[in-house]
Amino acid sequence: MKVFICWSGERSRLLAEAMRQWLPSVIQAVEPFMSEFIEKGKSWPNDLDAKLHEANVGLICLTRENLEEPWLQFEAGALYMHLSQEHVCPYVLDLSPSEIPWPLARFQATKAVKEDTKKFLDTINKTLGESALDTLRLTQAFEMWWPKLEEKISAAQKSPILSAPVKREPGDILEELVSLVRSQSRQIESLEDVVRKLAVATQYGIQTLGATTPADIEHRVLTGKNPLPAAFFRFFDEWSRRNPPTDVTPGTPIPGTRSEST
């Protein structure tokens, strides 16, 4: 079980180092990695890229002063492309979830407190599958080792902030929300356009595809086996303005095909 730990800034580094040392004490199967521990002489970018792709879980150590750090966001993005969203976890120090900006806000944040840290361990343990610890053993190990981590978290909190913390203005948060809403709207419009095209293709029965049901048409078009000709889309734009498509029940034979005639 490989855990990639992202950090940027002194307090974040202290938090990351604390987790790097602490995690294997609780769950021995965990192999944490921090970028500063790449062996000398190795190709740093290549080795870092390999570690990102080997990771089963990503831990992003966030503090108020590193929220906008480009390198931290790069590593978080690389983890998101490789892992499922629930396996990328911001571990936040003295922050509330509402203070985390997009795109880091897409992940479920874990506060550096006892209850949340236990939930993060539960996620790691489940990822181990058959090698996972049973609930009792995990709880006992966590209770035994938590005071040591708590002490290091406290030290990180008291460490001086070496760079000015990023304070998000209400206007910035509002602008981000508007941007997100617009992005979601564009995605919905794009999806609606695809659905309408498929509906028109279904109603008119694109017999040249060799399809006999709407599901078959959808499969052939979307997989690129029989892409629709450009002429169809020109026809679609004109036809759909005059005739809104009606709902099509999946599995219904297309008029004029062999399935309907039989």
Q: Select from 85, 16, 74, 23 the least CA-distant residue to 49.
A: 74
Which residues are within 8 A (CB) of 29 and not within 5 positions of it... i.e. 6 or more apart? 1, 128, 131
More confident residue, 201 or 84: 84
Q: Which two tokens stand for residue 169?
A: 């203005």
User: Which residue type is seen at 184?
Assistant: Q
Report how far residue 160's alpha carbon sits from residue 88's, in angstroms, rounded to the nearest whole number: 27
> Superfamily assignment of 2-167 in CATH?
Toll/interleukin-1 receptor homology (TIR) domain (3.40.50.10140)
| Residue 113 or residue 194, greater confidence | 113
Does 166 or 105 have the greater pLDDT score?
A: 105
pLDDT tens digits for range 110-166:
999 999 999 999 999 999 988 899 999 999 999 999 999 999 999 999 988 765 544
Domain ranges for the chain: 2-167, 171-261
Q: Other C-beta atoms within 10 Å of 65: how many? A: 19
Closest by CA to 1, choosing from 35, 31, 27, is 31
Distance CA 196, CA 201 (A): 9
Residues 6+ apart with CB under 8 A from 255: 205
Q: Residue 200 to residues 52, 118, 242, 261: CA-CA distances in angstroms?
A: 44, 52, 12, 21
Contact 117, 110 (CB under 8 A): yes
Which pLDDT value is given to residue 125? 94
Span 37-77, pLDDT tens digits = 544 455 556 777 788 888 999 999 999 989 888 888 888 88
What totals of helices (H) and strands (E) does the chain contain, helices first?
A: 9, 5
pLDDT at 256: 42
Task: Give me the pLDDT at residue 98, please.
Answer: 82
CA dihedral 95, 96, 100, 106 (to 10 degrees): 130
Among residues 60, 11, 56, 62, the alpha carbon closest in space to that of 35 is found at 60
Span between the terminal Cα atoms of the chain, in Å: 56
What angle (nearest 5°) sits at the alpha carbon of residue 194, between those of residues 210 and 179? 160
